[in-house]
Amino acid sequence: MKWKKQNSLFKILFLAAPFIYFSGHAQNSTDKKSISLGIAYYASSNNAVYLMANAKTKIEGKFQPVKGVAVSIYLDKDSTGYLIGKSLTDAHGLVKAVIPPALQAAWNAAPSHTFFAKTEEGALYEAASAEAKITKSKIVLDTVSSGEVHTVIISALAFNGNEWVPIPGLELKAGVGRSVGSILAFTDKDAFTTDSTGKVSIEITKTNFPGDDKGNMLLVAKMEENDQYGSLLVEKKVPWGLAVQTDDNFFSQRALWATRFRTPIWLLVMAYSIVAGVWGTIIYLVMQLIKIKKLGKQVEN
């Protein structure tokens, strides 16, 4: 009787095993987080082209970057022969890739391309993919000077397969580049829209932009995260700024924070006169001690 009971218990367990396994497996897959993957196209000075993929996931209602996930980036087709690069995301969830020489011919062959980004399913995250279609474009930055007045002419052009054609109605930003990466507006605004000829003309009347020690300043024009053209940036150095001389004397001044060879005079005088005064007294007292010793020897003799 007892054996029969045990036997039926084993049967139940045997039949239930696949369900237990699959329910456990299902539980594991529901534990995996989904990744929100994005890919963007960047071009700097119209020739340095690169792609940036970013991976993030939702934690406690907020998107957080995902570190250490392998992202593959492809040109036009998500197959091995079209692989631009594969890399792990950094602490900011980013992967940067440039078009390798092997794909340069494919890149030059067409005016428009589609980029694919993919992540495989891993222990923690589900598989994810993203794509971005861009049309090749460029920004041309020209300058015209007439006395004190300088004009910046920005042209936005797209490649149609045969030639570069103007892009009308395109939103651009322009200004003076700053060392921290932002731009200083030429006038009261820093955003402009191209006209029907794909151009923006900005007259600069302001003359007091700070430049380097020779008065050179950096003109910057950029297009940011455009759905059709991506992000483009061009720069041009012009001698329109004020020459700003770095104050080298700042580090050579005598200060409390300076090196020991640049101690403030007042501190040197104060510290060393105190030290000299006190140690002078100590030396005097030691001499008195020697005097006492000599007196003792005289008495002995």
Of 259, 256, 245, 194, the closest CA to residue 221 belongs to 194
CB of 248 to other proteins, least distance (A): 21
Residue 28: Cβ within 10 Å count:
10
Give residue for tokens 């890739």. Answer: 97
162 binds other proteins (CB under 8 A): no
59 binds other proteins (CB under 8 A): no
> Do 77 and 56 contact (CB within 8 A), yes or no?
no
Instruction: Find how far residue 260's CA is from the centre of its chain.
Output: 38
**Rounded to an integer, what distance in angstroms lies between the CA atom of residue 58 and that of residue 55?**
11
279 binds other proteins (CB under 8 A): yes
If phi over 0 gives left and psi between -120 and 50 gives alpha, with beta otherwise, what is residue 22? Answer: alpha
15 vs 292, which CB is nearer to other proteins? 292
267 binds other proteins (CB under 8 A): yes
288 Cβ contact list (under 8 Å, min separation 6): none
284 binds other proteins (CB under 8 A): yes
252 binds other proteins (CB under 8 A): no
Collapsed DSSP state (helix, strand, coil) of residue 296:
helix
100 vs 264, which CB is nearer to other proteins? 264
Q: Which of 10, 14, 257, 266 binds other proteins (CB under 8 A)?
A: 257
265 binds other proteins (CB under 8 A): no
285 binds other proteins (CB under 8 A): yes
259 binds other proteins (CB under 8 A): yes
88 vs 285, which CB is nearer to other proteins? 285
276 binds other proteins (CB under 8 A): no
CB of 269 to other proteins, least distance (A): 11
Element (H, E) at 265: helix 265-300
**Rounded to an integer, what distance in angstroms lies between the CA atom of residue 246 and that of residue 161?**
49
296 binds other proteins (CB under 8 A): yes
Q: Which of 12, 15, 265, 282 binds other proteins (CB under 8 A)?
A: 282
CB of 295 to other proteins, least distance (A): 5
22 binds other proteins (CB under 8 A): no
26 binds other proteins (CB under 8 A): no
201 Cβ contact list (under 8 Å, min separation 6): 151, 152, 153, 154
Q: What is the DSSP letter of 164?
A: E
Binding site for other proteins (CB under 8 A): 256-260, 263-264, 267-268, 271-272, 275, 278-279, 281-282, 284-286, 288-289, 291-293, 295-297, 299-300
